[in-house]
């Protein structure tokens, strides 16, 4: 499936259907991932950028890509495992990270997610983030509001949903979440400029969801990420009233960039007084 396509206005999207399809595919991919995760042993390969990949990545990618293409045949699709990382994509497309947090997966730490998002005119409007090992499922509804679903996660129908809303931050005592596998001195130096009540760490796009759920106020990322790493979590965060900006100038964070590579960023609850 090509990652480079001609720019178009893009097809009209039925958001009710999109929500149901993305949710179902994320859950089905989660089942595939957990089959590998719970097996006695599995092979870990290295991609060209030295990042790890497993049979779980491959199985989840194939399932999601096929399901999205069948449901939305006119919509461009970008997935981590099928993108060559070059070229210019359309501004409206579906983007997938079938297994975000492969390092956490390999170390059996549970902080990995399935990410599927819909981007329109460079903005991630809808997304689903599913953490199968933790039993947490976050997504946007058809109207864009973000929820966390609880219950048994039936494939054919959503269960009880809890609306997500970012915190009302106290700048004298902020709760900060940072990367579990990519923490560095630059990140610690930046965080030290805030009055921090407590810090937590999490892997994958769960960090966005913690801010969306009001469990953290601030998530800075001073490291390399790709659009498929962030789009779904960004959509959930925006649907909960949160914001995400470029680290360097606090400008708008957009998608559909050549090569799909992100700048450093800050995800946060409005009310946090960002340090420049």
Q: What is the pLDDT of residues 158-216, one digit of tens each?
A: 999 999 999 999 999 999 999 866 678 999 999 999 999 999 988 889 999 999 999 99
Domain boundary among 129, 163, 197: 163
**Residue 74, domain CATH:** 3.30.540.10
Q: What does the pLDDT look like over 222-249, one tens digit per residue?
A: 999 999 999 999 999 999 999 999 999 9
What is the total count of domains within the chain?
A: 2
199-218 exposure pattern, b = at least 16 Cβ within 10 A, e = fewer: eeebbbbbbbbbbbbbbbbb
Residues 221 and 253 in one domain: yes
Domain extent for 199: 174-268
Residues 76 and 203 in one domain: no
* Block residue for tokens 């995400």: 244
Q: What is the pTM of this model?
A: 0.92
Domain boundary among 111, 139, 163: 163
**Residue 231, domain CATH:** 3.40.190.80
Residues 242 and 148 in one domain: no
Residue 91 lies in a domain: yes
Q: DSSP letters of 201-259?
A: EE-TTHHHHHHHTTS-SEEEE-S--BHHHHHHHHHHHHHTT-EEEETTT-PBP-S--GG
Average pLDDT taken over every residue of the chain: 90
Q: What does the pLDDT look like over 126-155, one tens digit per residue?
A: 999 999 999 999 999 999 999 999 989 999
Domain boundary among 163, 190, 209: 163
Residue 52 has pLDDT above 80, yes or no: no
């Amino acid at each position: 499936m090509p990652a480079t396509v001609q720019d178009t206005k893009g097809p009209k999207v039925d958001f009710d259907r999109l929500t149901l399809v993305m949710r179902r595919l994320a859950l089905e991919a989660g089942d595939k991932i957990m089959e590998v995760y719970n097996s006695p042993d599995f092979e870990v390969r290295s991609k060209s950028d030295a990042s790890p990949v497993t049979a779980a990545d491959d199985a989840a990618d194939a399932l999601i890509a096929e399901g999205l293409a069948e449901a939305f045949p006119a919509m461009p699709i970008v997935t981590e495992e099928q993108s060559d990382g070059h070229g210019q994509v359309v501004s409206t497309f579906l983007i997938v990270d079938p297994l975000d947090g492969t390092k956490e997966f390999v170390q059996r730490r549970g902080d990995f997610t399935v990410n599927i998002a819909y981007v329109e005119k460079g903005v991630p409007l809808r997304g689903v983030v599913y953490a199968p090992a933790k039993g947490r499922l976050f997504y946007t509804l058809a109207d864009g509001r973000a929820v966390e679903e609880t219950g048994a996660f039936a494939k054919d129908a959503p269960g009880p949903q809890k609306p997500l809303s970012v915190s009302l931050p106290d700048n004298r005592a902020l709760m900060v979440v940072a990367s579990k596998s990519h923490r560095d001195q630059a990140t610690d130096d930046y965080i030290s400029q805030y009055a921090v009540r407590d810090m937590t760490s999490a892997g994958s796009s769960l960090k966005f969801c913690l801010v969306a759920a009001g469990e953290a106020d601030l998530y800075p990322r001073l490291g390399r990420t790709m659009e498929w790493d962030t789009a779904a979590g960004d959509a959930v965060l925006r649907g909960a009233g949160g914001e995400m900006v470029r680290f360097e100038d606090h400008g708008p964070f957009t998608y559909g960039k050549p090569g799909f590579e992100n700048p450093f960023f800050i995800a946060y609850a409005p009310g946090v007084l960002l340090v420049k």
